[in-house]
Chains A and B, each alone.
Chain A
Amino acid sequence: MSDYTWKEMMAVLFCREMEDGDRVTSGASTEIFFAATMLAQKTHAPNMKLQLGGTCFLCNVTDVEIDKLPATSSSYELLKYAETVHDHSETFLFYCPPGREKYYEDGSPYRDTNHFWFADKFFIGGIQADKFGNANLIGLGKPGDITFRGPGSVGINDVVNSVRDGYVFLTAHDKRRLVEKVDFVSYPGRKICKEVELLGNGPKWIVTPKAIFDFDPETDEARLKSVFPGVTIEDVKENTGFEVKTTDEVETVKEPTKEELDVLRGEVDRTGVLRQD
Chain B
Amino acid sequence: MSQSKKRKEVIRTVAEAVGRIEDGMTVAIGGFVADNHPMIMVREIIRKGLKDLTIVGSATAGLDIDLLIGAGCARKVIAPYVGLEKYCPIGHNFRKAAEAKEIEIWECSEYTLYAALFAGSAGQDFMSWRGGIGSSIPELNPDFREFTDPIGGKKKYLAIPALRPDVAIIHVGWSDPYGNGQHFGAPFGDRWIARASDRIILVAEHVVPNDLIRKNPFMTSVSYADDVVEAPYGAHPYAAHGSYREDLDHLQEYIAASEANRKGDTKTWEKYLDTYIREPEDHVAYLERIGLRKLLGLYVAPIVTW
Contacts and interface: CB of A to CB of B under 8 A. Distances in A.
Contacts of A79: 185-186, 241, 303-304
B140 interface: yes
Contacts of A161: 130-131, 133
Contacts of A57: 186
A4 interface: no
Interface stretch (A145-153, A235-243, A246-254): A145-153
A193 B81 CA distance: 23
Interface stretch (B16-24, B107-115, B281-289): B107-115
A73 interface: yes
B136 A76 contact: no
Contacts, number: 182
Interface in A139-190: 139, 143, 146-161, 184-188
Contact of B109 (A75, A80, A155): A155
Interface in B84-143: 84-87, 89-91, 94-95, 98-99, 107-112, 114, 117-118, 129-137, 139-140
A196 B134 contact: yes
A155 B136 contact: no
Given A75-B34, A79-B304, A197-B155, A87 B188 contact: yes
Contact of B134 (A30, A146, A192): A192
A74 B59 contact: no
Contact of B81 (A151, A157, A192): A151
A186 B108 CA distance: 10
Dominant secondary structure of chain B at its interface with chain A: loop
B245 interface: yes
A74 B110 contact: no
A129 B304 CA distance: 41
B60 interface: yes
B108 to A, nearest CB: 8
A71 B83 CA distance: 14
B95 A87 contact: no
A54 B80 contact: no
Interface residues of B, number: 63
B134 A157 contact: yes
Contacts of A39: none
A151 B90 contact: yes
Interface in B31-69: 31-36, 59-60
B186 A85 contact: yes
A8 interface: no
A71 B95 CA distance: 23
Nearest to B245: A76
B60 A154 contact: yes
Nearest to A139: B98
A64 to B, nearest CB: 12
Contacts of A87: 187-192
A198 B134 contact: yes
15 contacts: A74-B31, A74-B34, A74-B188, A76-B35, A76-B185, A79-B303, A88-B188, A89-B59, A89-B189, A92-B110, A152-B79, A154-B81, A155-B131, A157-B131, A158-B132
Given A146-B98, A154-B60, A154-B80, 19 more contacts: A30-B85, A54-B188, A72-B87, A74-B186, A74-B188, A87-B189, A87-B192, A138-B107, A139-B98, A147-B99, A149-B95, A152-B81, A157-B131, A157-B134, A158-B111, A158-B129, A196-B133, A196-B134, A197-B154
Of all A-B residue pairs in the complex, the 6 with the closest CB atoms, nearest first, are A155-B110, A158-B131, A149-B98, A74-B33, A188-B134, A158-B111
